[in-house]
Structure 1
């Protein structure tokens, strides 16, 4: 006789702000920069456009430019995208900053410390054990599943690893959704 299926409860990882950029400042040699409120700079040269994302050093406030498009024909841009650059659309800033090709081209990594939160349904601990949980990423926040699960359960990582059954490597960073089962303390 099989047991009834466990209800699957959602956990959602959300970005609370844009992550910091870990890149060296040319003035003060500090390692951290931010996009601040997120601004683009667009420069036209005839029918060609240059687009930069402006970043600011956290230590000395020096502004630098990250090239997004260089000498690109105006006709190759979608009109909505051009308007987004013009009005500094926050969604366009976020998608540009989170683009791995931009990070590789400008040699920076994103520092997600304090830039995300885990939304957990409040009454989930009243469920019968074992409980099946599904982690969904609203934004591509890279986290280690073992740390995320321990934080969400309010347990140490070792205790969380002992009570969790999961089909992915818990000690490898991921930003893809996954499902896991939490066993009762007695298991």
Structure 2
């Protein structure tokens, strides 16, 4: 029997981010929402594709460049169809694409993004005391950059107070690979969180 309990978490956005940009029309707002609609322009053999963002106050549009002056036959057919269909998931994914954000000089309101943590086990921290394993190893999938602190996600998913989490980190019970400062570290895709189960005692949860 393995001495390690393997758990997987995946952190996914529930909605597209708000972009911060001064509205050129109403001038009273600097927040734009994802309309989940694409605009396409085909000229001869070239295509342009934009994702349309709209002002929260007046619906003035702000077009995000997705593809520019690309040969239309080079666009993946499945992706092309999603542009045509205004596919919601594609609009969400592209609104968080770091290359697109960089090229369009976009500022994101990360606090506006709600997210969920999908797990193949809903085990809480106190449950691990009674687990007959040496370690609990949690693999974290993080396909989108939501600018989240690792400590925030650990506290939320394992139902730990800040003081309790700091105690576990300082005691070496919780660590990550590669080794970083968990208290300050932003989440990265494929982070491995290790909980040294053999070091846990029931009285740790009475404090």
2:195 matched residue in structure 1: 181
Offset from partner CA, 1:84-138 (integer Å, 9 cap, x none)? 2111122322332222121112221333434202245334443326762514225
1:126 matched residue in structure 2: 127
Structure 1: where are the runs of 5+ without partners?
Answer: none
CA RMSD of aligned residues (A): 2.6
Offset from partner CA, 1:43-90 (integer Å, 9 cap, x none)? 122222121110012233212111222222223222222222111122
How many residue pairs match? The answer is 183
2:140 matched residue in structure 1: 136
Among 153, 156, 160, the alignment partner of 1:151 is: 156
Distance 1:83 1:180 in 2: 42
TM-score by length of 1: 0.81
Distance 1:11 1:185 in 2: 25
Among 160, 163, 172, the alignment partner of 2:165 is: 160
Among 36, 39, 47, the alignment partner of 2:37 is: 39
Report 1:1-187 matches (<5 A). 5-27=3-25, 28=27, 30-36=29-35, 38-113=36-111, 114-119=113-118, 121-124=121-124, 125-127=126-128, 128=130, 132-137=136-141, 139-140=143-144, 141-164=146-169, 165-167=174-176, 168-170=180-182, 171-176=184-189, 177-181=191-195, 183-184=200-201, 186=203
Contact 1:163 1:185 in 2 (8 A): no
TM-score by length of 2: 0.74
